[in-house]
């Protein structure tokens, strides 16, 4: 099977989620990717959560399908030069000596992935996801009025930066093949996080105001049905339909909710009424009835429920790979190609063998 990126060879020298996710995407779509680890192993091998075996599930997620090469203790530049000599792409951390690669392979595209870039007053900073979310302005907009800023769970900025690095790498590789001279790109997670908070940055640019935590700007709320949370969007033109569907016709003419302005002012009270009506109802049934009435609603699934999600299952989202002698279910591809599908490697295939340094 021909894969989209099979003609490219990649070396992954990164130590971060962003860098290793970039290279995971390259591997997913057919590139031969070698993760080059220091003698003590990648720092991400210690990142929780851990499997029963003690292995990092984050490291496993980011690196299946790659060749693993651990440098010898006290490795010399010649070892790296040998690995870089035939690479089309190198993904490297901040401060990496790119000339060490260019001296042996001038055509190699180099994508530098870091927390804060290589210039500016924060260039020497190190920080995790919470730090970059705080600096982006997004944390200050999350949470309830009068409470501290709220950290958004997960490593969303890191994964977004990894995707940005992947796009940069593909663009440079295609440009190189057409005679382009540029061989270097840099991506930093802090800038990516700031770019993701654009609605509130633009709000200030346009009218000089800051969004306040707790402002009810989105016509939505959550209620706990029988064991599962349901998110409901209550747009003005579907308010009456929602009330009738939930058996809450009495709220249609309630002076607190009859008009959009007063409804927004009494938003918490509205969802108190909805919560009381739905506390013993089946969540899937509630969502189905609301959607039939053209009211936007969805269950807030637990991570453990996603493996049985009928939509993901029907679309073949989940992939199975062989790891350490066992079949393991993994997250599938983030996008599909009609004529050059990705093909995940397993440890039984050459593209996934572990190579000891």
- pLDDT of 214 strictly over 80: no
Q: Torsions phi, psi of 217, nearest 5?
A: -95, -30
Highest mean pLDDT among 39-43, 128-132, 144-148, 269-273: 269-273
Closest listed residue to residue 158, CA positions, set 317, 292, 24: 24
Question: pLDDT value at position 190?
Answer: 93
- pLDDT of 58 strictly over 60: yes
Query: Would you give the distance in Å from CA 116 to the centre of its chain?
Result: 18
- pLDDT of 350 strictly over 90: no
Residues 165, 231 share a domain:
no
Q: Torsions phi, psi of 114, nearest 5?
A: -145, 175
The CA distance from 349 to 344, in Å, is: 10
Per-residue confidence band for 327, with pLDDT thresholds at 50, 70 and 90:
confident
Q: At what angle do helices 129-136 and 156-177 cross, to 10 degrees?
A: 90
Query: 185, 118 in Cβ contact below 8 A?
Result: no
Q: Which of 267, 300, 333 is the last residue of a domain?
A: 300
Question: pLDDT value at position 342?
Answer: 47
Residue of higher predicted confidence among 335 and 301: 301
Residues 138, 40 share a domain:
yes
Q: What is the pLDDT of residues 244-255, one digit of tens each?
A: 999 999 999 999
Residue of higher predicted confidence among 78 and 226: 226
- pLDDT of 340 strictly over 50: yes
Residue of higher predicted confidence among 348 and 10: 10
What is the tally of structural domains in the chain? 2
128-132, 206-210, 284-288: the lowest-pLDDT one: 206-210
As beta bridge partners, residue 326 has 323
Is 166 among the domain residues? yes
Q: How many CB atoms lie within 10 A of CB 306?
A: 13
Instruction: Provide the whole-model pTM.
Output: 0.85
Write the CATH number for 257. 3.30.1540.10
Query: 49, 334 in Cβ contact below 8 A?
Result: no
Q: What is the pLDDT of residues 60-80, one digit of tens each?
A: 899 988 999 988 776 567 888
SS3 assignment for 263-313: HHHCHHHHHHHHHHHHCCCCHHHHHHHHHHCCCCEEEECCHHHHHHCHHHH
Is 113 among the domain residues? yes
Question: pLDDT value at position 345?
Answer: 47
Residues 177, 52 share a domain:
yes
Residues 194, 292 share a domain:
no
Residues 234, 283 share a domain:
yes
Q: How many CB atoms lie within 10 A of CB 343?
A: 19
Residues 181, 231 share a domain:
no
The CA distance from 8 to 111, in Å, is: 14
Question: pLDDT value at position 356?
Answer: 32
Question: pLDDT value at position 351?
Answer: 40
Per-residue confidence band for 352, with pLDDT thresholds at 50, 70 and 90:
very low
CA dihedral 18, 22, 28, 31 (to 10 degrees): -150
Is 102 among the domain residues? yes
Residue environment code for 201-239, b if the CB has 16+ CB neighbours within 10 A, otherwise e:
eeeeeeeeeeeebeeeeebebebebeebebebebeeebb
132-141, 207-216, 274-283, 300-309: the lowest-pLDDT one: 207-216
Domain limits for position 111: 9-144+152-200
Is 205 among the domain residues? no
Give the mean model confidence (pLDDT) for residues 125-134: 88
Give the mean model confidence (pLDDT) for residues 73-88: 82
Give the mean model confidence (pLDDT) for residues 32-48: 91
Q: Which of 283, 300, 317 is the last residue of a domain?
A: 300
Residues 224, 186 share a domain:
no
CA dihedral 162, 20, 29, 345 (to 10 degrees): -150
Is 188 among the domain residues? yes
Is 311 among the domain residues? no
The CA distance from 53 to 105, in Å, is: 39
Q: Which residues contact 198 (CB under 8 A, 6 or more apart)?
A: none
Is 89 among the domain residues? yes
Give the mean model confidence (pLDDT) for residues 225-239: 94
Write the CATH number for 52. 3.40.50.10540
Residues 247, 131 share a domain:
no
């Amino acid at each position: 099977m021909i894969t989209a990126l099979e003609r490219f060879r990649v070396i992954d020298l990164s130590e971060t989620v962003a860098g290793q996710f970039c290279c995971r995407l390259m591997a997913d779509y057919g590139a031969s990717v070698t993760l080059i680890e220091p003698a003590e192993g990648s720092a991400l091998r210690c990142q929780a959560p851990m499997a029963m075996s003690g292995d990092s599930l984050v490291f496993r997620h980011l690196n299946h399908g790659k060749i693993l090469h651990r440098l010898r203790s006290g490795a010399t530049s010649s070892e790296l030069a040998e690995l870089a000599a035939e690479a089309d792409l190198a993904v490297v951390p901040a401060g990496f000596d790119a000339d060490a690669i260019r001296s042996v392979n001038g055509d190699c595209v180099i994508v530098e992935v870091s927390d804060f870039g290589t210039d500016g007053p924060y260039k020497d900073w190190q920080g995790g996801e919470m730090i970059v979310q705080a600096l982006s302005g997004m944390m200050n907009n999350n949470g309830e009025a009068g409470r501290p800023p709220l950290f958004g769970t997960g490593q969303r900025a890191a994964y977004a930066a990894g995707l940005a690095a992947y796009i940069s790498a593909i663009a440079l590789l295609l440009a190189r093949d057409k005679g382009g001279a540029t061989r270097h790109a840099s991506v930093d997670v802090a800038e990516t996080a700031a770019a993701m908070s654009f609605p509130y940055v633009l709000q200030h640019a346009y009218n000089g105001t800051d969004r306040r935590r707790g402002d009810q700007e989105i016509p939505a709320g959550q209620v706990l049905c029988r064991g599962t949370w349901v998110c409901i969007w209550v747009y003005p033109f579907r308010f009456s339909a929602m009330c009738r569907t939930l058996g809450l016709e009495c709220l249609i003419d309630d002076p607190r909710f009859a008009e959009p302005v007063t409804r927004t002012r009494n938003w918490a009270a509205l969802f108190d009424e909805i919560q009381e009506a739905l506390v013993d109802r089946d969540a899937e049934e509630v969502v189905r009835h609301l959607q039939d009435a053209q009211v936007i609603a969805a269950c807030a699934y637990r991570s453990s429920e996603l493996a049985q999600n009928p939509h993901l299952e029907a679309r073949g989202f989940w992939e199975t790979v062989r790891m350490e002698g066992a079949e393991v279910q993994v997250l599938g591809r983030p996008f599909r190609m009609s004529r050059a599908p990705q093909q995940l490697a397993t440890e039984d295939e050459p593209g996934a063998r572990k190579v000891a340094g």
